[in-house]
Amino acid sequence: MTTVAEPAISSSSVDDARPHAVVIGSGFGGLAAAIRLGARGYRVTVLEKLDAPGGRAYVFRQDGFTFDAGPTIVTAPFVLEELWQLCGRRMEDDIDLRPMDPFYQIRFHDGEVFNYWADVEKVREEVKRFAPEDLEGYDAYMKASQANYKVGFEDLAHVPFNSMLDMAKVVPDLVKLQSYRSVYGLVAKYVKNPRLREVLSFHPLLVGGNPFRTTSVYCLISYLERRYGVHFAMGGTGRLVEGLVDLIQGQGNEVRCGQEVANINVQSGRVTGVRMKSGESISADIVVSNADSASTYRNLVPSPARQRWTNSRIERARYSMSLFVWYFGTKKRYEDVPHHSIILGPRYKELIEDIFQRKILAEDFSLYLHRPTKTDPSLAPEGCDTFYVLSPVPHMQSGVDWAQQAEPYRQKISEFLSSSILPDLEQQVISSHMITPQYFQDDLNSFRGAAFGLEPVMLQSAAFRPHNKSEDVKGLYLVGAGTHPGAGLPGVISSARVLDSVVPDAAQAKGAR
């Protein structure tokens, strides 16, 4: 991946007359924010702690294999296309997106398979195969998913929630949608077959939510997938990151990697810039944090400047699960394995309770298996396969010592895969890398190692999340998974779109200093 390391070389300079915006973090939310601010006349400096851009979308490369660290699914290409359009360019000239069909294959613990096809009628045939009596209920559920998409994504995802009055305005719609139900609760209203309930309700896990507690607004994901499809970027998700960095540089702005922010400077309740771990101070008219929202307030904003997001409030909040991810390359190709597989364990609700409530590392697991070389063989040496397998696990409050437990846990997953979907796996692996909740806490600065920030329950959604426009500090703004609208690629990119409504125009920002 192309990186911009210190000292950065770009057309941006301190002599640039444009008002200066500093963006902390180069995840998708931060990169999208930088592009939007650049399009509105700001000089933008993106500061990234890691040695390459991407944040959770970092790329690991070793032994000829390319491993996307984080997101692998593009479900709303139009949110990305808009960023290219803001720069007077076309995304299709830079990015090759390929539609997936099936979107993913869902495999139950006994080997039974549900293929989630792009074609609606083929999905209905799968539903009929599992439970013909639930076909009518499935159709009704998809109508409910469409209604949630209309309100939750089209109407509200890019709208700021700056006050409880803003929240009050949408309460009637949320009541009509039965948003007081959980995702699983809404699915269960329409579908009775236990396995179909699992097929239709697992989506919140993709954004850090518990299907039994996440507000049913997140049922919108089912319709979002149906309407726009599931896509993969050739070259991997890192290719999207490269494309966004190129857009930023084309605006005359810069991304500086290996640059960790120590604190956000605040004077008289307003940001004045940031101080780096290196001791360097960078002045700014506005600061946008794409860092974890809890860590932003707890570690970067001085305590005296915080009235709302105090340490005690941050610690009382509920956080998403974390992830164990094993990246591995094999010396053979597993031609029968699809691009995306969801492998469900023998327990569903009980395992989720272990992860979210009891915060214990269970003996069993459910997995997401990613084989990008099904679509793009260039991500591995010739004749080889690139994989990652992801297991949801509790965040760092579990007390698990990952330095001791990571390898035994990997072995357990490897043995399971070898006995099921990837025969003879242990003898075929020639490259291996792991990340654990410790990585999310230490390298990505995620509070308690939560992979997706705040858990997306009703009382931590919209106006109840840290606002995109800081409630505590003037000139400070937040994007990414920990603010509105939440985690997931469409969500974090939409959080940057919210800035169009809450960040002043460049000329006004300059005059405010």
Domain-embedded: residue 13: no
Per DSSP, the residues of 444-479 read S--GGG-TTSB---GGGSGGGSPPSB-SSSBTEEE-
Mean predicted lDDT score pLDDT of the chain: 93
- Position 14 scores a pLDDT of 54
Domain-embedded: residue 3: no
Which burial class, exposed, middle or buried, applies to 399 when counting CB atoms under 10 A from its CB (0-12, 13-18, 19+)? exposed
The answer on 194 and 151 residing in a single domain is yes
Domain-embedded: residue 452: no
Q: Taking the mean position of all CA atoms in its chain, how far away is CA 335?
A: 29
State which residues form the domain around 54.
20-59+71-96+234-315+457-510
Which of 160, 195, 228 represents a domain boundary (last residue)?
A: 228
The answer on 174 and 141 residing in a single domain is yes
For the chain, the first-to-last Cα distance in angstroms comes to 37
Q: How many domains does the chain have?
A: 3
The answer on 245 and 217 residing in a single domain is no
Torsion of CA 391, 394, 396, 398, to 10 degrees: -130
The answer on 186 and 224 residing in a single domain is yes
The answer on 83 and 28 residing in a single domain is yes
The answer on 338 and 277 residing in a single domain is no
| Token pair 């109840």 in the structure block, residue | 464
For residues 195 and 344, give the distance between their C-alpha atoms in angstroms, rounded to a whole number.
10
Q: Taking the mean position of all CA atoms in its chain, how far away is CA 424?
A: 32
| 171-195 pLDDT tens trace | 787 778 788 899 999 999 999 999 9
Which of 182, 204, 228 represents a domain boundary (last residue)?
A: 228
- Position 232 scores a pLDDT of 97
The answer on 436 and 350 residing in a single domain is yes
CATH classification of the domain holding 436:
3.30.519
Helix (H, G, I), strand (E, B) or coil at 141: helix
Contact yes or no for 403/438 (Cβ under 8 A)? yes
Per DSSP, the residues of 329-352 read EESS--TTS-SEEEE--S-SHHHH
**Distances in Å between the alpha carbon of 239 and those of 94, 207, 312?**
9, 21, 40
* The three-state (H, E, C) secondary structure of 185-208, written as one string: HHHHHHCCCHHHHHHHHCHHHHHC
- Position 511 scores a pLDDT of 52
| Token pair 């592009």 in the structure block, residue | 35
The answer on 308 and 201 residing in a single domain is no
The answer on 82 and 142 residing in a single domain is no
Contact yes or no for 25/289 (Cβ under 8 A)? yes
The answer on 190 and 284 residing in a single domain is no
- Position 164 scores a pLDDT of 73
Domain-embedded: residue 107: no
The answer on 340 and 388 residing in a single domain is yes
Nearest-Å Rg of the Cα atoms of the chain is 22
Peptide bond into 7 cis (omega under 30): yes
Helix (H, G, I), strand (E, B) or coil at 270: strand
Domain-embedded: residue 256: yes
- Position 157 scores a pLDDT of 77
- Position 83 scores a pLDDT of 98
For residues 490 and 493, give the distance between their C-alpha atoms in angstroms, rounded to a whole number.
5
| Token pair 């931590």 in the structure block, residue | 460
Domain-embedded: residue 438: yes
**Distances in Å between the alpha carbon of 148 and those of 29, 160, 186, 229, 359?**
23, 18, 11, 17, 30
Residues of the chain with pLDDT under 70: 1-15, 510-513
Contact yes or no for 325/435 (Cβ under 8 A)? yes
Helix (H, G, I), strand (E, B) or coil at 57: helix
Strand segments, DSSP code E, in 196-269 are 231-233, 254-257, 261-267
The answer on 223 and 135 residing in a single domain is yes
CATH classification of the domain holding 30:
3.50.50.60
Question: Are β-strands 281-283 and 385-393 bridged in parallel, bridged antiparallel, or unpaired?
Answer: unpaired
Which of 387, 408, 443 represents a domain boundary (last residue)?
A: 443
For residues 361 and 80, give the distance between their C-alpha atoms in angstroms, rounded to a whole number.
36
For residues 200 and 191, give the distance between their C-alpha atoms in angstroms, rounded to a whole number.
9
Count other C-beta atoms under 10 Å from residue 307's C-beta. Answer: 10
Residue 86 identity: L
- Position 285 scores a pLDDT of 97
| 353-389 pLDDT tens trace | 999 999 999 999 999 999 999 999 999 999 999 999 9
- Position 310 scores a pLDDT of 96
Domain-embedded: residue 411: yes
Domain-embedded: residue 12: no
